């Protein structure tokens, strides 16, 4: 009898999981980028918030979802079971605020990336997320901000940098203006950087 082999078990497809707990605009762009691809697929969206906007995006796109609690995330390997079930090769953080536990980093060495809405190493670290970042950049009267895509390690925003892109800040720009400029960069670069990294993984 032919064994049951689903598409994501096939060795020729590389599978991505996205960890996100916000609106999910980056997750949306990533899903759109890979929607027609036979070689790379987003298989799972993981969130720590039951009401996160990203879960609606997953529903519309018919992507599996998995909710983590603090206890399950840090004290069990339940998430690993879900990732293994789907042969996940690569993990993308897109607005996921919890520190990634060592067991996950060890299971995915150099296979977890994050996007930070500023030019690291400035304006990073615990508590530096969302509008807090743009307010700090504004307060510091920076002439530029941008995005940083980096590997994830056991510390907030300290993994090695893969990619950065800058945008100019005008003296009249408010934190909301900076946020908009940075979001444009995120949406245009995150999917393509993910594509390059995942494409270069050995099968």
Query: Given the rule CB under 6 A, which of 19-27, 38-46, 134-142, 163-171 is the region that contacts ligand GRF?
Result: 19-27
* Nearer CB in complex with ligand GRF: 89/117: 117
Site string for ligand GRF, 65-84 (x = CB under 6 A): --------------------
Residue in 14, 17, 18, 26 binding ligand GRF, rule: CB under 6 A = 26
- Interacting residue with ligand GRF among 185, 186, 189, 197 (CB under 6 A): 186
Active-site amino acid positions = 116
Asked whether 27 and 52 are in contact (CB, 8 A), the reply is no
**Which two three-digit tokens encode residue 128?**
């530096």
User: What is the DSSP track for 120-164?
Assistant: TTTT-STT--HHHHHHHHHHTT-SEEEEEEEE--SSTT-SPEEEE
Structure tokens at 177: 């203006």
Q: Does 117 bind ligand GRF (CB under 6 A)?
A: yes
Q: Which residue is nearest to ligand GRF (CB)?
A: 95
- The SS3 of residue 40 is strand
| Site residue total, ligand GRF (CB under 6 A) | 13
Q: Which of 8, 13, 25, 56 binds ligand GRF (CB under 6 A)?
A: 25
Say whether residue 24 binds ligand GRF (CB under 6 A): yes
Q: What Cα–Cα distance (Å) separates residue 136 from each residue in 33, 96, 127?
A: 31, 20, 11
Closest CA to 182 of 31, 17, 26: 26
| Residues of this chain that bind ligand GRF (CB under 6 A) | 20, 22-27, 94-95, 115-117, 186
């Amino acid at each position: 009898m032919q064994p049951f082999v689903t598409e994501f078990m096939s060795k020729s497809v590389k599978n991505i999981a996205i960890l996100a707990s916000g609106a999910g605009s980056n997750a949306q762009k990533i899903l759109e980028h890979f929607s027609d691809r036979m070689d790379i697929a987003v298989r799972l969206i993981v969130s720590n918030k039951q009401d996160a906007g990203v879960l609606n995006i997953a529903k519309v796109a018919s992507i599996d979802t998995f909710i983590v609690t603090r206890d399950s995330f840090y004290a069990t390997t339940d998430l690993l079971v879900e990732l293994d079930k789907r042969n996940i090769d690569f993990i993308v953080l897109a607005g996921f605020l919890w520190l990634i536990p060592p067991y996950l980093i060890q299971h995915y060495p150099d296979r977890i990336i994050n996007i930070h809405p500023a030019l690291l190493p400035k304006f990073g670290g615990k508590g530096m997320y969302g509008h807090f970042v743009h307010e700090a950049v504004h307060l510091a009267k920076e002439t530029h901000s941008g995005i940083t895509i980096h590997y994830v390690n056991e510390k907030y925003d300290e993994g090695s940098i893969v990619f950065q892109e800058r945008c100019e800040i005008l003296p009249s720009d408010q934190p909301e203006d900076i946020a908009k400029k940075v979001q444009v960069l995120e949406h245009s670069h995150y999917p393509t950087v993910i594509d390059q990294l995942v494409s270069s993984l050995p099968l």
